[in-house]
Homo-oligomer: A and B are copies of this chain.
Amino acid sequence: MEPGHTIPILGKGYVRYIDHLGSDLRIVESARISYKSPSKGVDQDKKLLTYLYKHRHTSPFEQCSITYNIKMPIFIMRQFVRHRTFRLNEWSARYSELADEFYIPTQWRAADAKNKQGSQASGNLDHAKITKEVEAFHEKAYATYQNLLQQGVARELARAVLPVSIFTEVYVNCDLHNLLHFLHLREDDHAQLEIREMAAAMRTVAEQLYPWTFEAYHKFRLGVTDRPTPA
């Protein structure tokens, strides 16, 4: 995968691959430090990696990491930042102005009938009307922001009027074990659709870098639904 490879998400957002450390073989190699047993060839190496994943020997997967550049709306960033092992730098709205770019879903979703925090597709929503209203509001919000800046208000205060639908940007380095944990939680049916889209793009990058690991992940993790719909 070429550095700079970019996957568009959420309208004006993206997940961009910057760099990575290690490989499936690195995971095996670091595990062999524990076992003090030399490699017996590629088939055995893959078997060992699968064994490690299946039996939750998680530390060798921390030896790998991926650096992404991600552009996402603030309300998704607020979920993303809760993953405390991720190392990140974010666009500072104290230091520079945020751009006039907001997230608008392609399809508005209604409140979920069963899951109080969720959403579902709905034929009852007037999508065009809602989009128009929200776009008008975004315009108003950005104009208010600009107006404050022009009156001389400090950036750190003017930005307070910006809605959480506005895009921000991060540089982030995630170790592979914690990335898998993130994917498990954020590609789950209960996660908000927007972060699922972002997580899927992050996974698309990661799968090309660590194919054995993701083969194990899909086989042993996604099959197990341990976060069922609450009654």
Contact = CB atoms under 8 A, between A and B. Distances in A.
Most B CB within 10 A of own CB, among A29, A56, A160: A160
Q: Would you call the interface of chain A mostly helix, strand, loop, or mixed?
A: mixed
A134 B84 CA distance: 34
A142 to B, nearest CB: 11
Q: How many copies does the complex hold?
A: 4
Nearest to A229: B55
Chain A interface size range? 35 or more
Contacts of A222: none
A22 B175 CA distance: 14
Interface of A: 19-22, 26, 29-31, 33-37, 51, 55-56, 59-60, 62-63, 65, 67, 69, 73-75, 77-78, 81-82, 84, 87-96, 103, 105, 108-112, 116-120, 122, 124-126, 130, 133-134, 137-138, 140-141, 144, 147-148, 151-157, 159-165, 169-171, 173, 175, 192, 226-228, 230
